[in-house]
Structure 1
Amino acid sequence: MRRRDFRFISVALTIATAGTLVGGCSSTSSAQENEAARAVMEFCQSEPPDQALTQALPPGLALPADRLTLGVNPDWDAETLDQFAATTGVAPGVAGSFVQMPLTADDRRRIQSAAEEVAGIGGVLMLTLEPHQGLDAVDDASVQELVELLATLNDSSVPVLLRFAHEMNGSWYPWGQQPQSYVQAFRKVAHAVAEGTSATEMLWAPNYGGGYPFTGGEFAAAGDQTAPASGSPDFEWADTNSDGALTEADDPYEPYYPGDDVVDWVGLTIYHYGGASQWDGNNVPEPDKFAAQLRGAYDGLGGDESGVPDFYARYAEDRDKPMAIPETAAFVTAAADPDLALEVKQGWWRQVYSQDLRTQFPQLRLVNWFNFDKPELESVDLVRWSVTTDARIGDAFGNDLVDSVATAADVVSCPEAPE
């Protein structure tokens, strides 16, 4: 394992070199990657290189097809991408930002600020839209405003992965466990994005299904009941085995899938927590836990979750969709011993960024670390998800990244012209 040197690069050239890489890298025969290669050569052969020739390419091309890309969800109020890179020694290829929908004036400022930082490293912006006013608020006007903003970002050579109303199978958000309304809203946004933007792709990303239907969430209908009211159309959709009850025997994913025609990327929120009876325990993850969760075969600290569907096979492999882990981290409380904190986090990041992960899961293209320290309902102490609060942990994180993990520094320069 080696520490990567990071450097900041031209966003136009980064996007141009996105798909089929030149200068000694392998290429494939897909139409999109051939188009990327042509964009690279046009850019490199112009005198001087003309940025107008490099049209922003979709995120599926902007991330290396044969690598797992390092992403980060930074706490923008506490840390810049430059600071993350300075602490860890690596610049992420993707950075995430969370905003409401409909957008507020503050949200628009946040998006613009994040986009400028992402452009500075030549990366991709993963934008998570949170309709806290409910799915009914996702109306034509709010969608049009969103698309106009995305088009401006794309025209400025900032590709966007758009994650709409994430973790919709959970009971902790106002848009949760409303499968019919969710699917309709997702499709509305997706069609408008496809028509009105040049480099934005839709990411569908439920929460990992272990523990479904997640009773007792903030937005559950009542008490320990989950959100869909019995007898409602949403309940009928969610009750996949038609036994009249919403339980762990029901499918945690399929009722919420919007359709192959509107989903460009599939994703899954997966965190390492403590044991089932000790949510705030600082427990070292078991070997291969992450892979087992992707396959729906996990049986360990969190309890026997081996009945969860194989998400990777069903949605990434069988549908031939690129896959992302848009949020992950390891549960460590602020009161944890520093050595134990390192052991827990290191035990998790060595799984989610392992050398052989691409061999096991070739569709997996992106893993975003959730780099926040924040209160959580599961703990009386502050939870330190971040790898940069402690400089020693940040240094270990950068040193542990293996060669198969792509960062913002992994771009291809223009090949030298033959003599």
Structure 2
Amino acid sequence: MAETLALALVVGLTACSSSDPTGSEGAATPTAAHPDAACALQQLTAGDGIHFGVNLDWGSQSVGEYADLLGAPPADVVSFSPIPWTAQEREWVTQAADQAAQVGAAHLLTLEPQAGLAAVTDDVIADVVSLLQEETDAGVPVIVRFAHEMNGSWYAWGQQPEEYVATFRRVAAAIHQQVPGAALMWAPNYGGGYPFDGGAYAAPPGSAAAGVLDTDGDGAVTGFDDPYAPYYPGDDYVDWVGMSLYHWGSAHPWGENEAPEAGKFVAQLTGAYSGLGGDDTAVPDFYADYGQARDKPVAIPETAALIVDRGDPVGQDAIRQAWWQQILAPEVHQRFPLLRLVNWFEWVKVEQEVGDTVHWAVLDDPDTREAFRADLPEWIEFGSDGCR
């Protein structure tokens, strides 16, 4: 079962830009965290609620406009950025942080080494550190999601476990040493459908990478191998664990508007899903293995339900609502206390694997927005400027 393929980059922002950041060699000893940034990071794991944030379509909407539609500031806002940066890409990251700061949100910065892991040189890491220092010095909390969905076969950093772990550790060590107001998130894709055969970056049979990924030792990388463990950088390098978890429909090929089965979200989070999409019970329990066992806060940095416009707004809204109600169910709040952050993918975009435009967003339509806001429980947490 194929999962999320290409995701969009930040292509434009509407906030006023700040001056170009300058490079820095970094400090030789740990730097003190800016009190506002450190406080805001702690708020994301404080209390007993789940924080709600957004993957925003930056080209068509500002964070402030989104907050007005939601009726509350998001707890965090996600941006996608390739590295190494051009001057313009670096400026877009700064603008995203500025917009997050305006509503009291954290900045979940997704770094995408599109030229491959070898392009993440020491100079590139130093540039990342320099910009993060500027963000956190301004009081903006940052969670860096480095090279997400690395277990997939659709990204240039995918299915290269040894290189990925080594690079993640280098990035994490530099950020932990020099930017204590920032945190690192490790975030694979949900393991159903692993190893996602047919992708451009699938580990070649017989390669060293395939040998590492063959966790059951049967000579091949299959759905019975662990889709998470070979890519885990280690507890000392990871502050948050997260997983992309979408409702793409009932079964591959995707593109049909189909309601999620009851309990699907929880079953996939815990490695217990077996249903219309197949038997995924070989997939490990992500929450137990990477949240509970390691005492890490858990995030769903990307989620939404697939809708292709078929001229049935009532039926389409019922599918969306069925998915968000599973995520916002009392059982989720009570059973998963380490689940601290959920981000809705608020985009309308063409998806390659569907061959059509998918309407992931829920706030752009007034009726859908009203239903979504009405279903937000009291224990959902939003952004706050209480630390600033």
Q: Structure 1's 259 and 58: CA in aligned 2 closer, same or farther, altered over 3 A?
A: farther
The answer for unaligned runs of 5 or more in structure 1 is 1-51, 221-226, 415-419
**Is 1:377 the equivalent of 2:358?**
no
Which of 259, 267, 277 pairs up with 1:292? Answer: 267
Kindly indicate whether residue 297 of structure 2 is the aligned counterpart of residue 316 of structure 1.
no
For the 8 Å contact 2:106–2:141, the answer to whether it is kept is: yes
Shift of the alpha carbon at 1:397? 1.4
Tell me the CA shift for residue 164 of structure 1.
Answer: 0.3
Deviation at 1:87, TM superposition (A): 2.1
- The aligned amino acid for 1:381 is D
Counterpart Cα distance in 2 of 1:265 and 1:202 = 6
Map Cα deviations across residues 62-90 of structure 1 (whole Å, 9 max, x no partner). 31422100010100001112221222323
Match of 2:125 among 143, 152, 169: 143
- State yes or no: 1:99 paired with 2:81: yes
Q: CA 1:58/1:306 → structure 2, altered by over 3 Å: closer, same or farther?
A: farther
Q: Please say if 1:130 is aligned against 2:112.
A: yes
Structure 1 range deviating more: 387-396 or 141-150? 387-396
Q: In 2, are the aligned partners of 1:208 and 1:268 still within 8 Å (CA)?
A: yes
Among candidates 174, 180, 191, match of residue 156 of structure 2: 174
Matched, 1:276 2:251: yes
Over residues 164-208 of structure 1, what are the superposed CA-to-partner deviations in whole Å (9 max), with x where a residue is unaligned?
A: 000000001011000000001100100000111131100000000
**Matching of residue 389 in structure 1 with residue 360 in structure 2:** no
Q: Residues 59 and 124 of structure 1 are in contact (CA less than 8 Å); yes or no, is this contact kept in structure 2?
A: yes
> More deviation in 239-248 or 385-394?
385-394
Where do residues 224-243 of structure 1 align in structure 2 (5 Å cutoff)? 227-243=202-218
The 10-residue stretch of structure 1 (371-380 or 65-74) with the greater mean CA deviation from structure 2: 371-380
Match of 1:339 in 2: 314
Which among 101, 108, 117 is matched to residue 90 of structure 2? 108
| 1:333-366 C-alpha deviation (Å, 9 max, x unpaired) | 1335111121111111111122332211111000
* Shift in Å, 1:276: 1.4
The answer to whether the 8 A contact 2:54-2:74 is kept is yes
Q: Does the CA-based 8 Å contact 1:330-1:348 persist in structure 2?
A: yes
State how far apart, in whole Å, the 1-side matches of 2:292 and 2:320 are: 28
Offset at residue 283 of structure 1 (A): 0.8
Give the match for residue 417 of structure 1: none
8 Å CA contact 1:126, 1:163 repeated in 2: yes
From the superposition, tell whether residues 190 and 54 of structure 1 become closer, same or farther in structure 2 (CA, over 3 Å).
Answer: closer
Q: 1:106 to 1:340 in 2, by over 3 A?
A: farther
Using the alignment, how far apart are the partners of 1:345 and 1:363 within structure 2?
25
Q: CA deviation at 1:253?
A: 0.4
Count of equivalent residues: 355
Partners of 1:131 and 1:138 within 8 A in 2 = yes
- Aligned positions of 1:2-401 closer than 5 A: 54-57=35-38, 60-65=41-46, 66-217=48-199, 219-220=200-201, 227-401=202-376
Correspondence for 2:3 = none
Taking the aligned partners of 1:107 and 1:101, their CA distance within structure 2 comes to 9
CA distance in 2, matches of 1:134, 1:365: 31
Instruction: Give the whole-Å Cα distance in 2 for the aligned partners of 1:270 and 1:192.
Output: 29
Distance 2:166 2:45 in 1: 32
**How far is the alpha carbon of 1:285 from its aligned partner?**
1.1
Distance in 2 (alpha carbons) for counterparts of 1:58 and 1:213: 39
Q: Report the secondary structure of 1:261's partner residue.
A: helix
TM-fit CA distance, 1:381: 2.3
CA distance in 1, matches of 2:291, 2:347: 28
Contact 2:112 2:148 in 1 (8 A): yes
- Counterpart secondary structure, 2:184: strand
Q: Is the 8 A contact 1:87 1:395 kept in 2?
A: no
When the two chains are superposed, the root-mean-square deviation of aligned CA atoms in Å is 1.8
CA contact under 8 A between 1:296 and 1:309: conserved in structure 2? yes
1:234-284: CA deviation from partner (whole Å, max 9, x where unpaired): 121111111111110111000000011100000111000112145111111
Partner residue of 2:19? none
**Percent identity, aligned pairs only?**
47
Residue ranges of structure 2 left out of the alignment (5+ in a row)? 1-32
Question: Larger C-alpha radius of gyration, 1 or 2?
Answer: 1
Task: State the Cα distance separating 1:300 from its structure 2 match.
Answer: 2.0
SS at match of 1:202: strand
Cα contact 1:58–1:201 (8 A) shared by 2: no
What CA distance in whole angstroms lies between the structure 1 residues aligned with 2:331 and 2:250? Answer: 26
Taking structure 2 as the reference length, the TM-score comes to 0.88
Aligned residue type for 1:108: R
Question: Given that residues 64 and 406 in structure 1 are in contact (C-alpha distance below 8 angstroms), is that contact kept between their aligned partners in structure 2?
Answer: no
CA distance in 1 between counterparts of 2:136 and 2:291 reads 26
CA distance in 1, matches of 2:207, 2:39: 38
Aligned partners of 1:413, 1:147: CA distance in 2, in Å? 22
C-alpha displacement of 1:412: 6.0
Which residue number in structure 2 is paired with residue 25 of structure 1? none
CA contact (8 A) 2:34 2:181 kept: no
Question: 1:88–1:395: 8 Å Cα contact kept in structure 2?
Answer: no
Cα shift at 1:378: 2.6
